[in-house]
């Protein structure tokens, strides 16, 4: 497969066994490294991409042996420069690894993949760091400002098996979140639909909506109070009731689900720059909290090959640990 997708000629790509079953758009994003997603979707919609000489849609699944016609692609100098100088290679702390998949501890401030103004993310950096790896794909996503457990598949079969578990809600994903105020101990289940929308500048946002909203997606979040913390003197005006450290388990994986559910309940996450208490965030920043306090802490799953039960866990990073009390198990 050509390493440089910029070409003035029509090309034909044959789908290999490892890629069988992938959506066409995802296959082309991987095969045409560096080509903007918007351009890939444009050539699919226009009918310039053909599969076995017939039209094909972005969400169609490719089969081994399919021959894809790729039209001439001319890239801007900026994109050519990006291809010539790809993401810097970087490894991340590995919490678990075998031949099927690995779990890493993602730091806050790092996107999981490139796009939306981000040149590259975890997956692009890891592919550069492991050029011998034939297959590395994200199993799921974390927000850029969220730290913690992130799974990456090393085989297509493992990717499908793990994503099926996430889709069927067979995994247990628990996060640690520090929120404003005293969370009511009786409030243990948040079952509120969420609705995605765009701001005028195109940025994505999510809000709680009514049960009758046809575009609302059912979203279920379980909450347990792990610790209650008194506010230090510098934060008494911003959060006189102190803070609550919550163990938050999501039964559905909606965009910004935890952030929106907690904020809608009147207890926004400390440091959340989209749904948080902005004045309190300024006070927290002056007190030393420079990021959102949301950490993907524990993950229970079934191993995609051995079928054994696994529980993975990663502790709070240093910049968050000092905001919680000792003894959290």
214 C-beta neighbours (distance < 10 Å), count: 6
168 C-beta neighbours (distance < 10 Å), count: 8
**Cα dihedral 164/145/185/323 (nearest 10):** 140
- Closest listed residue to residue 124, CA positions, set 164, 162, 94, 83: 83
> Rounded distance, CA 107 to CA 93, Å?
9
Give the three-class secondary structure for 264.
Answer: helix
> Rounded distance, CA 308 to CA 298, Å?
17
Distances (CA, A) of 206 to 60, 219, 242, 289: 28, 12, 26, 24
Ramachandran class of 327: left when φ > 0, alpha when ψ lies in -120 to 50, beta otherwise: left
Q: Which residues form the catalytic set?
A: 143
Contacts of 278 (CB under 8 A, 6+ apart): none
> Rounded distance, CA 37 to CA 29, Å?
7
28 C-beta neighbours (distance < 10 Å), count: 24
DSSP state of 109: T
> Rounded distance, CA 148 to CA 296, Å?
4
Task: Tokens for 327, please give them.
Answer: 């003894």
């Amino acid at each position: 497969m050509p390493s440089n997708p910029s070409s003035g000629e029509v090309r034909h790509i044959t789908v290999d066994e490892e890629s069988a079953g992938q959506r066409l758009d995802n296959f082309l994003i991987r095969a045409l490294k560096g080509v903007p997603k918007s351009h890939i979707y444009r050539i699919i919609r226009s009918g310039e991409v053909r599969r076995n000489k017939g039209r094909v849609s972005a969400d169609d699944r490719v089969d081994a042996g399919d021959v894809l016609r790729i039209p001439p692609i001319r890239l801007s100098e900026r994109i050519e420069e990006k291809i010539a100088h790809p993401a810097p290679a970087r490894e991340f702390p590995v919490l678990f690894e075998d031949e099927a998949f690995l779990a890493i501890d993602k730091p806050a401030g790092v996107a999981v993949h490139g796009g939306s103004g981000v040149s590259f993310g975890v997956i692009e950096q890891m592919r550069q760091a492991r050029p011998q790896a034939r297959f590395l794909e994200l199993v799921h996503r974390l927000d850029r400002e969220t730290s913690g457990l992130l799974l990456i598949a090393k085989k297509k079969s493992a990717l499908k098996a793990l994503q099926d578990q996430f889709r069927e809600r067979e995994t247990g994903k628990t996060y640690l979140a520090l929120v404003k105020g005293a969370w009511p101990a009786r409030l243990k289940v948040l079952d509120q639909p969420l609705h995605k929308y765009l701001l005028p500048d195109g940025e994505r946002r999510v809000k709680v909506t009514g049960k009758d909203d046809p575009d609302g997606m059912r979203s279920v979040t379980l909450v347990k109070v792990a610790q209650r913390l008194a506010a230090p003197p510098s934060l008494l005006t911003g959060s006189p009731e102190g803070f609550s450290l919550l163990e938050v388990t999501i039964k559905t994986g909606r965009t910004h689900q935890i952030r929106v559910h907690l904020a809608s309940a009147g207890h926004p996450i400390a440091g959340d720059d989209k749904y948080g208490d902005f004045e309190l965030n300024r006070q927290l920043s002056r007190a030393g909290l420079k990021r959102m306090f949301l950490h993907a802490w524990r993950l229970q799953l079934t191993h995609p090959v051995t079928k054994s039960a696994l529980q993975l866990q990663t502790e709070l990073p240093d910049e968050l640990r000092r905001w919680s009390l000792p003894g959290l198990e």
